[in-house]
Amino acid sequence: MRLFTTKKPRSRTPGTKRTRAWLGSGVGRKSVTLFTRQLATLLHSGLPLLRSLELLERQQKKQAFRQVIQELAQKVRSGNPLSEGLALYPKVFNNLFYHMVRAGEASGHLDLVLDRLARFMEKAQKIQGKIMAAMMYPVVVMVLAVTILGFLMVYVVPRFQSIYENFLRGAALPALTQWVLNISLFVQSNILVLLLLGLAGLVIGKALGGLDKGRYAFDFIKLRLPVFGELIRKNSLSRFARTLSTLLGSAVPLLEALEITSAVVGNRVFQRELQTTYIRVRDGDPISKPLSQTTQFPDMVCSLIEVGEETGKVPEMLHRIADNYDEELDNSISALTSVLEPIMIVFLAVVVGVIVIALFLPLIGIFQNLAA
């Protein structure tokens, strides 16, 4: 049972609708980050909000995002707050963005809040890019290995098999060669079935990933992966700490900040534990107490948050935690990349080398017989 919804309904004036939400479906996160940085810079330089939005609208090259900015400018021109325009495009501006802007409007420091939000988004994209690069390398190598193996098994090995039949005339083949030929024969006979099974696996995985229980199971498995599981855990902890720090530093109420953080932490295992924390904090507990009773949040994180609660500097402590995990992520990714690259190259060379040796072993015997 859900303790609270992962996407909290946004506050709107009675006439606000989300009928144009689909317009933002083609806007990427990099575009939003650049827009946030530029808007923060323009506001900080003293330019009015409406004038800033009009400038950004004119220089925007992507038609979909230009329409979004045009709608934002129209809302501001009509005397409405910027946050009301943001509420029309939840696919572009998530709950974190919306609530921070609303807090900036309430405090009268929208430029400072947007600057803080831009730095948060830039940092998150940088870390996410490094993690994706580290995880994509073995995936690319494995896809390349499967492609090469498929080509060898379907096109190359059968031609060698016909050579063996003509020259060896039924003589026994080396065990390694026979093993490769058997695999090749199996792949040729069942290639359509294998392709359908692979496609079915992707479809089933996609369907399960759309369910709460399936997504939770996938995220749980991710955290248990060797090497990569630790990277994912550190990234989730960094995202939790930086998001909550940014929200609290922007004067967003604690319970609201916890709910938003839970929705954007990026892992259902962490999300469920933050939901439990939300309930405990709502009932009067400090953040550190329920967090210390979870399985994913280390004692170091809970202790630093507790110190922040005692000194009244929770946002600063959370920011320090995020920086610490970001630094650990950088070091881990650099070390992993330096080790993983030669390992994957050797793996690919061994796989292809075994097949080549298996194919040429009988030919060596044929050449020896011809020479004799």
> Residue 204's CB: how many other CB atoms inside 10 A?
11
The closest alpha carbon to 85, from 98, 96, 100, belongs to 98
Say how far apart CA 332 and CA 328 lie, in whole Å. Answer: 6
Successive 10-residue mean pLDDT values, the chain, 372 residues: 43 42 65 91 90 90 88 90 89 86 84 88 84 78 81 81 72 81 83 84 76 83 86 89 87 88 87 92 91 90 92 91 89 81 82 84 70 59
Is 80 in the same domain as 155? no
Q: What is the pLDDT of residue 345?
A: 82
pLDDT at 371: 61
Same domain, yes or no, for 279 and 146?
yes
Q: For the packed helices 228-249 and 212-224, what is the interaxial angle rounded to 10 degrees?
A: 120
Same-domain check for residues 77 and 163: no
Residue 62 in tokens: 């992507």
Q: What is the pLDDT of residue 366?
A: 67
In our burial notation (b when 16+ CB lie closer than 10 A, e otherwise), range 89-115 reads bbebbbbbbbbbbbbbbeeebbbbbbb
Instruction: Decide: residue 364, CB within 10 A, 0-12 exposed, 13-18 middle, 19+ buried.
Output: exposed
Q: How many CB atoms lie within 10 A of CB 159?
A: 9
- The answer to whether residue 13 is domain-embedded is no
Q: How far is the C-alpha of 276 from the C-alpha of 294, rounded, in Å?
A: 9
Residue 78 and residue 165 in one domain: no
What is the CB neighbour count within 10 angstroms for residue 231? 20
Intra-chain end-to-end CA distance of the chain, in Å: 79
The pTM assigned to this predicted structure is 0.72
Nearest alpha carbon to residue 218 among 276, 270, 267 = 267
Smallest CA-to-CA distance from 109 within 50, 40, 34 is with 40
Number of helical (H) and strand (E) elements in the chain, helices listed first: 16, 0
pLDDT at res. 12 = 41
Domain that holds residue 34: 21-93
The reported pLDDT for the residue numbered 131 is 77
How much is the pLDDT for 20? Answer: 52
Q: Specify if 289 maps to a domain.
A: yes
Residue 170 lies in a domain: yes
Verify that 59 and 139 share a domain, yes or no.
no
133 in a structural domain = yes
101 part of a folded domain: no
Write the CATH number for 262: 1.20.81.30
Q: Quick check: is 112 in a domain?
A: no
